[in-house]
Amino acid sequence: MRRYSKNLLIIYIMSKSNYLGEQRTVFSLKDENLDYIKHYFGLMIYIIIFVIGIPYLLIKNKYWDILSAYFPNLDLIATIIGYHGGPVNSYIWTHLYNPSDSTITGYVTSNLINYLALLGVIFVIIHYTMVSNNMFKPAARALIMLIVTYFIPSNFIIYFMNKFGKYLNRFFLSKSLQHYLLVLLLGFLIAVLFISLEAVLISNFVPIIAKIMKKIYKILI
């Protein structure tokens, strides 16, 4: 009996090991039941409005400070509008930017948005380097931005949006436009809080971090 149990344990461990090995790459992801037309239609709307349209207006009107706060947070915008897959159960943004997405298309789209957000961070570094003629302060600013509004917020925003959505189910149908817009409002308010926190940290800690980075640079170089 003990030998039989031991064999079962070995088989379980081996199967588990094999499972984990297969799950470590994106090649295990599948696009089962994915509506490509809806997905790419939603992606095009997102790119036209949020990646091209709004930045174009900000650049045209020379709102550089707003642009530097906006562009690195394209991932937050994608996280928020992706609630319930989009308005009125359209599901056009189901796989736009989902931390738990299990499709290869969602993986590619999420990484595209991450790439665009990182380009926004690079833009901020270049912009403030040119304005301040100092490379350490922009680098310190980017360091704070990456932690506060790039790596941390998405899962928190999704969590509270889902909680609020369940509460609203008492008053509105979950597929209604009112429900979607109210939850979106909460999502954007939370995003603004994170961005405001980022601004406070930048204001108070950038000079300190910049000095530390400058000292490390001198030691290394």
The closest of 175, 27, 42 to 97, measured between CA atoms, is 42
Burial class (CB in 10 A: 0-12, 13-18, 19+), 213: middle
Where do the structural domains in the chain lie, given as residue ranges? 33-220
Residue 203's pLDDT is what?
Answer: 85
Burial class (CB in 10 A: 0-12, 13-18, 19+), 179: buried
The closest of 74, 65, 82, 22 to 202, measured between CA atoms, is 65
Residue 12's pLDDT is what?
Answer: 46
pLDDT digits (tens, 9 = 90+) for 117-149: 888 888 888 888 888 888 898 888 888 888 887
What is the DSSP annotation of 10-25?
HHHHHHHHHHHHHTTS
Model pTM? 0.79
Alpha-carbon gap, residue 48 to 45, rounded angstroms: 5
Residue 7's pLDDT is what?
Answer: 47
pLDDT digits (tens, 9 = 90+) for 83-93: 988 998 888 99
Residue 11's pLDDT is what?
Answer: 47
Q: Which parts of the chain register pLDDT below 70? A: 1-32
